[in-house]
Amino acid sequence: MTEAPGAKPESVLPHRPSREQAEDAVRTLLAWVGDDPRRPGLANTPKRVVEAYEERFSGYREDPAAELARTFEDVSGYSDMILLRDVRLESYCEHHIAPFTGVAHVAYLPDKRVVGLSKLARIVDIFGRRLQVQESLTAQIGETIQHVLRPQGVAVLIRASHQCMTLRITNQPGAIMETAHFTGVFKNNESWRRRFIDAVRTDAG
């Protein structure tokens, strides 16, 4: 099997900077904004920032395709849509490293094999813990599930609010971005696509 889309990425750098180098970079930024990184209130800030980055961007160290490796075939002939709604999403845009938060809805039409629902949530979480734009995040989730499970089709819809729209001059706190990605029957069959969209928009805010 060829490598799944969005699998654990190889570093584009010749080497990964050390933790000490990362902390030094934070000190440089603190000095650049005009503060003294040596003062008591900031002395431990570089360490805390690096630890926070390590947690927020842990998706670079994980392979989302591996989460789908264990599947089940004994499902008593079940062959209808499987939908996981309202998966909490938190990620960071690659343009400003500003957070965006919302929910993801993921569905697939199985072809013999199914996977535990928690694994679908893990796919969303792993990709969310990387820098990207919402459009690519949506596509990566869908294409990875399609590539690994080989279902009849996959549907992904994400709704999120972006802090780059609220903290910067744009100042649109109520704006919601919606992105969708479809493969297989959800892409080629209007009735399946409509069924998914109707399901995730039921009781939507």
Q: Answer yes or no: are the C-beta atoms of 104 and 123 closer than 8 Å.
A: no
Does 181 qualify as catalytic in the annotation? no
Catalytic residue among 21, 95, 172, 178: 95
CB-based burial label for 42 (10 Å; 0-12, 13-18, 19+): middle
94 is catalytic: yes
Residue 3 among the catalytic residues: no
162 counts as catalytic: yes
What is the spatial order of strands in the sheet that 99-109 belongs to?
Answer: 82-92, 99-109, 153-162, 177-182
Catalytic residue from among 20, 51, 96, 135: 96
Is residue 15 part of the annotated active site? The answer reads no
Pick the catalytic residue: 94, 135, 172, 178?
94
Q: In the annotation, is 95 catalytic?
A: yes
The helix/strand/coil state of 37 is coil
**Does 55 participate in catalysis according to the annotation?**
no
From the candidates 67, 105, 146, 162, which is the catalytic residue? 162
Set 23, 67, 132, 134: catalytic member: 134
Give me the catalytic one of 23, 67, 93, 132.
93
Residues that are catalytic: 93-96, 134, 162, 164
